[in-house]
């Protein structure tokens, strides 16, 4: 009898390991498609994840991530100002789009909470619960401009991810939400910082950047998310070389993502302006900038609206440089 039980336990373990391996493969393939702007290809894999592991929150959380990233990248007005620090106006969020996004984050949270009722120390469940809440915070603040709702969801995400790190200190992906909140709160003007402090939320730009840099180097699934975030944060900090380096590395890894090339071009243009003010040579940077826009202009895989976006960004960049 003991032998039979042992065999059954072994078989269940093998199936579990095999299922986890397939889940990881689909997750990796889905994110590769997503970062290459193949949203449908990504969602096809995320749906497959839900088919093979319907009780696991990973598929639903990944699906919600794909909707959020697509919202950021699509639409002429959003794309033409996405990587510009001058962007002030945001397009109105489509109600059906918001409802679909929330349905997936709710599903990810529900599945995570169900696992936590069985085992409150389930590290994976805690992570995905916090990740879903982090997405809700990003959507509330970035798309809907509901900052108090974003602060509440973001704080809950951070609490859950701190718990993850208490249980598993090397679970580096959990530092993403913590680092991002630290940076955001640390960047607020003093009155807003004081208000956040009354809610028990404090931050530091230095600690936030350090946490995101750790995820970018040591993270597993969140590594490239952290690197994408760092490109924009490095630009805000006027760390042009760091922003250019990350954008170049990611654009080589995800060659179909033209937005990464525009990120690199934006950082190069700002670097050129800074160098000119310092009376330093800029020929190498100008050559790199020209090569990026020339390459994008000749890319036959880009559709018409994307080609128009490239020309729009090139016009804005030339105007920026001509003013110097």
At 89-146, the pLDDT tens digits run: 455 778 899 999 999 999 999 999 999 999 999 999 999 999 999 999 988 887 777 8
Mean pLDDT for 165-176 is 96
Does residue 11 have a pLDDT over 60? no
Say how far apart CA 5 and CA 249 lie, in whole Å.
50
Mean pLDDT for 45-72 is 94
pLDDT digits (tens, 9 = 90+) for 142-168: 777 787 788 888 899 999 999 999 999
Comparison of pLDDT for 245 and 195, the residue scoring more: 245
Does residue 288 have a pLDDT over 90? yes
Does residue 78 have a pLDDT over 80? no
Band of residue 184 on the pLDDT scale cut at 50, 70, 90:
confident
Of all residues in the chain, what percent carry a pLDDT higher than 90? 69
Cα dihedral angle (243, 246, 250, 252), rounded to 10 degrees? 100
pLDDT of residue 216: 97
Does residue 4 have a pLDDT over 70? no
Say how far apart CA 189 and CA 150 lie, in whole Å.
17
- CB atoms closer than 10 angstroms to residue 165: 17
pLDDT of residue 204: 86
pTM score: 0.86
pLDDT of residue 85: 41
Band of residue 9 on the pLDDT scale cut at 50, 70, 90:
very low
pLDDT of residue 7: 34
pLDDT of residue 77: 44
Q: Return the axis-axis angle of helices 147-167 and 175-187, rounded to nearest 10°.
A: 140
Does residue 321 have a pLDDT over 90? yes
Q: Could you tell me the sign of the dihedral formed by the alpha carbons of 188, 193, 197, 202, in that order? A: positive
Mean pLDDT for 16-24 is 78
Does residue 80 have a pLDDT over 60? no
pLDDT digits (tens, 9 = 90+) for 197-238: 666 777 789 999 999 999 999 999 999 999 999 999 999 999
Band of residue 16 on the pLDDT scale cut at 50, 70, 90:
low
Does residue 268 have a pLDDT over 50? yes
Contact 232, 11 (CB under 8 A): no
Q: SS3 string of the chain?
A: CHHHHHHHHHHHHHHHHHHHHHHHHHHHHHHHHHHCCCHHHHHHHHHHHHHHCCCCCHHHHHHHHHHHHHHHHCCHHHHHHCCCCCCCCCCCCCHHHHHHHHHHHHHHHHHHHHHHHHCCCCHHHHHHHHHHHHHHHHHHHHCCCCHHHHHHHHHHHHHHHHHHHHHCCCCHHHHHHHHHHHHHHHHCCHHHHHHHHHCCCCCCHHHHHHHHHHHHHHCCCCHHHHHHHHHHHHHHCCCHHHHHHHHHHHHHHCCCCHHHHHHHHHHHHHHHHHHHHCCCCCHHHHHHHHHHHHHHHCCCCCCHHHHHHHHHHHHHHHHHHHCC
pLDDT of residue 75: 53
pLDDT of residue 203: 78
Comparison of pLDDT for 241 and 21, the residue scoring more: 241
Query: Across all residues in the chain, what is the average pLDDT?
Result: 87
pLDDT of residue 17: 60
């Amino acid at each position: 009898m003991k032998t039979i039980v042992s065999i059954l336990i072994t078989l269940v373990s093998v199936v579990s390991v095999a299922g986890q391996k397939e889940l990881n493969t689909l997750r990796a393939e889905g994110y590769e498609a997503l970062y290459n702007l193949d949203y449908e290809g990504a969602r096809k894999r995320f749906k497959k994840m839900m088919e093979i592991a319907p009780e696991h929150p990973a598929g639903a959380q990944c699906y919600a991530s794909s909707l959020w990233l697509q919202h950021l990248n699509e639409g002429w007005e959003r794309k033409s100002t996405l990587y510009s620090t001058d962007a002030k106006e945001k397009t109105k969020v489509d109600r059906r789009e918001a409802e679909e996004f929330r349905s997936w984050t709710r599903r990810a949270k529900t599945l995570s909470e169900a696992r936590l009722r069985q085992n409150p120390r389930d590290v994976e469940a805690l992570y995905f619960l916090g990740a879903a809440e982090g997405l809700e915070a990003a959507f509330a603040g970035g798309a809907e401009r509901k900052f108090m709702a974003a602060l509440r969801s973001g704080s809950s995400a951070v609490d859950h991810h701190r718990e993850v790190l208490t249980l598993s200190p090397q679970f580096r992906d959990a530092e993403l939400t913590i680092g991002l909140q630290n940076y955001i709160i640390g960047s607020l003007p003093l009155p807003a910082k004081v208000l956040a402090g009354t809610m028990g939320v404090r931050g530091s730009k230095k600690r936030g950047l350090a946490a995101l840099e750790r995820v970018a180097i040591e993270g597993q699934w969140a590594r490239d998310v952290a690197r994408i975030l760092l490109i924009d944060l490095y630009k805000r900090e006027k760390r042009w070389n760091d922003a250019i380096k990350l954008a170049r590395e990611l654009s080589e890894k995800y060659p179909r993502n033209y937005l990464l090339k525009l990120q690199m071009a934006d950082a190069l243009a700002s670097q050129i302006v800074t160098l000119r003010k310092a009376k330093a040579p800029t020929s190498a940077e100008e050559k790199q900038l020209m090569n990026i826009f020339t390459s994008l202009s000749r890319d036959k895989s880009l559709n018409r609206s994307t080609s128009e976006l490239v020309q729009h960004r090139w016009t804005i960049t030339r105007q920026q440089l001509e003013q110097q």
